[in-house]
Amino acid sequence: MNKPIDLYAMAYQDRSDRVRWLLEEMEVPYRNHFLDKKKGGMDSANYRLINPMGRVPTIVDGDLILHESAAICLYLADRYALGKLAPHYENIHLRAEYVKWMVWSTASLECVIARMFTHVNTPEETEVTHKFVKEQCEIMKTILLPVLSKQDYILSSGFSAADIMLAAVIPGAHDFLVKPNPEIARYMDRLMNRPGAIKAKVF
Ligand SMILES: N[C@@H](CCC(=O)N[C@@H](CS)C(=O)NCC(=O)O)C(=O)O
């Protein structure tokens, strides 16, 4: 039997959430390792060996060490749920669509949302940042809504790791994306109530 996967995080609700949720969905054994930032857990020489940036999440799966939450989820779904939570490589169009959502969720959507939580020190900066994020979310909405108005999950083939990535990121822009858009709110309800999400304590 394979050794459990080691998952390094700071808490349940950081970017390790999507990885833990995917592992729960796949019922792949794993161990949580929570690093204490205040006690230098992210900066320790041992941790820097597996993640030179001193960030989370990182996984160790046998002899593979991997960081970047989207890359981790792409790898895990391919390795442990290909054809179930990740489309087969032969299905080129669906696969391309899937990879797009996996990357978009962090590189485009999360990147914008994260602006609200970083380097905002004064009320003026907060206002400018919120305006920017709100405008950007209006654009993100035009990408999500046409899909979620016609189907329950982001891929026409059904629930996949791409839904996990999106649902882990979207709540960061709750007021701009979820609250004003019933289609996105229903999508979130559907996903938040999955036993895998509940076990992983994502929300
Ligand atoms: N793009 C990376 C971002 C990783 C990241 O920035 N993680 C945060 C936690 S959610 C972190 O480790 N921050 C370092 C810190 O707070 O010191 C990913 O998706 O894995």
103 and 70 within one domain? no
Residue 46's CATH number: 3.40.30.10
Q: How far is the CA of 99 from the centre of ligand 1 (A)?
A: 21
Which atom of ligand 1 is closest in space to residue 67's alpha carbon? Answer: 20
* Inside any domain, residue 86: no
Locate the ligand 1 atom nearest the alpha carbon of residue 14 and give its number: 10
pLDDT band at 122 (very low <50, low <70, confident <90, very high): confident
Q: Which atom of ligand 1 is nearest to the CA of 70?
A: 19
Q: How much of the chain, in percent, has pLDDT values that exceed 70? A: 100
Decide if pLDDT at 120 tops 80. no
Model confidence at 202, pLDDT cuts 50, 70, 90, reads very high
pTM to 2 decimals? 0.96
> Are 97 and 194 in the same domain?
yes
> Does 183 contact ligand 1 (Cβ within 6 A)?
no
Contacts of 8 (CB under 8 A, 6+ apart): 16, 33, 35, 47, 50, 51, 56, 57, 58, 59, 60
pLDDT in tens, 148-162: 999 999 999 999 999
Domain assignment of residue 129, yes or no: yes
Whether residue 116 is predicted with pLDDT greater than 90 in this model: the reply is: no
pLDDT reported for residue 60:
98
Last residue of a domain, one of 81, 102, 128: 81
Average pLDDT across the chain, whole number = 96
In a domain, 167, yes or no: yes
Q: How many domains does the chain have?
A: 2
Indicate if 167 and 97 belong to the same structural domain: yes
Which range of residues forms the domain containing residue 17? 5-81
pLDDT digits (tens, 9 = 90+) for 11-54: 999 999 999 999 999 999 999 999 999 999 999 999 999 999 99
User: Could you tell me what percent of the chain has a pLDDT over 90?
Assistant: 91
**Domain end position, chosen among 26, 53, 81:** 81
Same domain, 97 and 177: yes
| 3-state SS string for the chain | CCCCEEEEECCCCCCCHHHHHHHHHHCCCEEEEECCHHHCCCCCHHHHHHCCCCCCCEEEECCEEEECHHHHHHHHHHHHHECCCECCCCCHHHHHHHHHHHHHHHHHHHHHHHHHHCCCCCHHHHHHHHHHHHHHHHHHHHHHHHHHCCCCCCCCCCCCHHHHHHHHHHHHHHHHHHCCCHHHHHHHHHHHCCHHHHHCCCC
What's 165's domain CATH number? 1.20.1050.10
pLDDT at 1 (0 to 100): 59
> Is 185 found in the same domain as 99?
yes
- 137 alpha carbon, distance to own chain's centre: 17
User: Distance, CA 93 to ligand 1 centroid (Å)?
Assistant: 31
